[in-house]
Amino acid sequence: MPYTDEGKAVMLYGIANTISHVSLHSGPPNKGNELTGGVYRRKQIDFRDPETGEVRNEREITFDVPQGARITHAGFWTASYGGTLLAAAPTTEREFRGRGVYVIDLVKLGITNKDGRP
């Protein structure tokens, strides 16, 4: 059953109000590979109101990244530490020889039908 944009908005309000932090990972987030190191921390994320079946973040998210880090995915969590992983997405892959900065400028969460269509 396809959802209306209004139905999607109700579901997206729920998820957007539950996800509070974003993490960086060296592989799919459900495999226990979140970055570690003195400078790395999960970052808070705030979402705009849903539009046309998706929500987007309010502003870019800047992470401090430890030396030697490899980033391939982002995770979306209910807490700054621990918590529950609610969503994951591949990112632009990047490897850091030294300490650095990684920026995520746009996050879009949407509701799709079983066949992948909005």
Would you give per-residue pLDDT tens digits along the chain (118 residues)?
A: 677 878 888 999 999 999 999 999 999 998 889 999 889 999 999 999 888 778 899 899 999 999 999 999 999 999 999 999 999 999 989 999 999 999 998 888 887 655 555 5
What is this structure's pTM? 0.87
- Alpha carbons 36 and 3: distance in angstroms, whole number: 39
Residue burial 43-68, b: 16+ Cβ < 10 Å; e: rest: bebebeebeebbbebeeebebebeee
Domain ranges of the chain: 5-110
- Alpha carbons 12 and 57: distance in angstroms, whole number: 12
Q: Which helix (H) or strand (E) holds 16?
A: helix 5-18
- Whether residue 96 contacts residue 68, with contact meaning beta carbons closer than 8 Å, is answered with yes
Strand segments (E) across 51-95: 54-56, 61-65, 70-77, 85-95
- Whether residue 16 contacts residue 56, with contact meaning beta carbons closer than 8 Å, is answered with no
Measured at the alpha carbon of residue 49, what is the angle toward residues 16 and 21, in degrees to the nearest 5?
Answer: 30
